[in-house]
């Protein structure tokens, strides 16, 4: 089993090297994606049509807001294109009779790896946590009978790519203003367990090709910099990022990688795609 965990500031799903144009990707017939705003192609916008609804959303490609948290396409759009597949339709916007055999997107902007109950216990109200990773899996299981009959599913999923993430970033971002680094580290096993449970359930449903992107270097995130910025110059790296928070993400990604290694040993029949990147965040700009 080769489940890859990928890390890159520019292409979190950068398993095709220097770009998709020169790639010779494996022949997948469908893609099913789970995640948050990094890959949501319209689920959150379906439930909340006013978000995002004005320029510059969609301005560089669709010429109108497309339900993506972007002015153009997302990484998942380029992945689908690389495999000769259409852009993944959002699950919550599917219509009766629509052809979904080439894939569906379950990602929901703002969603979390942990369920809403966890955040309620922390006295935090996160509406998007209602569409957490476990909810997205339930959507997939509900849709599965429309994709294949039981005797056909093995062959269908053999040529299907499942992408799980990036997910977990919103869990961390929600807690950062209220917790110290030790408390953040205590969250990691919970998030890792939620992600590995999701992967396990997908394998039980028939998935054999999975990619698990890692999280971004949050120490460079403008929201994090604004919330927990420091007056001490030594707290920042050469790129102006909070070094301790990027070190935390290295730890977080490393824990996910360890958990996936355990899954690999338990599920030798499952395959992955491409080459894994280093757990150290990669920067493309320097002063």
* Full residue range of the structural domain in which residue 264 is found: 4-29+112-272
Domain annotation covers residue 42? no
Domain annotation covers residue 25? yes
Mean pLDDT of the chain: 86
Q: Which DSSP letter does residue 130 get?
A: G
- Distance, in Å, from the CA atom of 30 to the CA atom of 44, rounded to the nearest integer, reads 22
- Distance, in Å, from the CA atom of 17 to the CA atom of 8, rounded to the nearest integer, reads 11
Domain annotation covers residue 51? no
- Count CB neighbours of 174 within 10 A: 22
201's tokens: 């359930």
Domain annotation covers residue 94? no
pLDDT value at residue 287? 36
**Sign of the dihedral defined by the CA atoms of residues 245, 246, 247, 253, in that order:** positive
The residues pairing with 209 across neighbouring beta strands, listed in sequence order, are 271
Tens place of pLDDT per residue across the chain (287 aa): 545 544 433 333 444 333 334 445 568 999 999 999 999 999 999 988 777 778 899 999 999 889 999 999 999 999 999 999 999 999 999 999 999 999 999 999 999 999 999 999 999 988 888 999 999 999 999 999 999 998 899 999 999 999 999 999 999 999 999 989 999 999 999 999 999 999 999 999 999 999 999 899 999 999 999 999 999 999 999 999 999 999 999 999 999 989 988 898 899 888 753 234 333 444 444 33
pLDDT value at residue 4? 52
Total domain count, the chain: 1
Residue 188 phi/psi, 5° resolution? -55, -50
Residue 211 and residue 273 in contact, taking contact as beta carbons nearer than 8 Å: yes
Domain annotation covers residue 84? no
pLDDT tens, residue by residue, 58-85: 999 999 889 999 999 999 999 999 999 9
pLDDT value at residue 27? 82
- For residue 132, CA distances in Å to 20, 31, 115, 213, 282 come to 30, 19, 6, 17, 28
pLDDT value at residue 11? 36
The residues pairing with 105 across neighbouring beta strands, listed in sequence order, are 33, 90
pLDDT value at residue 47? 87
pLDDT tens, residue by residue, 204-260: 999 999 999 989 999 999 999 999 999 999 999 999 999 999 999 999 999 998 998
Domain annotation covers residue 277? no
Q: Which DSSP letter does residue 177 get?
A: G
Domain annotation covers residue 106? no
């Amino acid at each position: 089993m080769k489940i890859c965990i990928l890390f890159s500031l520019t292409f979190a799903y950068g398993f095709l090297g220097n770009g998709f144009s020169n790639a010779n990707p494996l022949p997948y017939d469908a893609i099913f994606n789970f995640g948050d705003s990094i890959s949501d192609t319209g689920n959150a916008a379906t439930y909340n049509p006013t978000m995002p609804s004005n320029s510059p959303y969609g301005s560089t490609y669709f010429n109108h807001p497309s339900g993506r948290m972007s002015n153009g396409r997302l990484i998942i759009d380029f992945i689908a294109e690389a495999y000769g597949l259409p852009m993944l339709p959002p699950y919550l916007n599917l219509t009766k009779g629509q052809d979904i055999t080439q894939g569906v997107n379950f990602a929901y902007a703002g969603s979390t790896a942990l369920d809403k109950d966890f955040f309620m216990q922390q006295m935090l109200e996160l509406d998007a946590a209602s569409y957490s990773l476990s909810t997205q899996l339930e959507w997939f299981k509900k849709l599965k009978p429309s994709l294949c009959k039981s005797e056909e599913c093995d062959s269908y999923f053999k040529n299907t790519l499942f992408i799980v993430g990036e997910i977990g970033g919103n869990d961390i971002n929600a807690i950062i203003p209220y917790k110290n680094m030790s408390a953040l580290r205590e969250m990691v096993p919970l998030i890792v367990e939620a992600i590995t449970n999701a992967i396990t359930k997908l394998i039980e449903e028939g998935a054999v090709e999975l990619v698990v992107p890692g999280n971004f270097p949050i120490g460079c995130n403008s929201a994090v910099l604004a919330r927990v910025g420091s007056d001490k110059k030594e707290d920042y790296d050469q790129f102006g990022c909070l070094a301790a928070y990027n070190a935390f993400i290295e730890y977080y990604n490393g824990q996910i990688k360890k958990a996936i290694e355990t899954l690999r040993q338990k599920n030798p029949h499952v395959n992955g795609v491409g080459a894994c990147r280093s757990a150290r965040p990669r920067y493309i700009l320097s002063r």
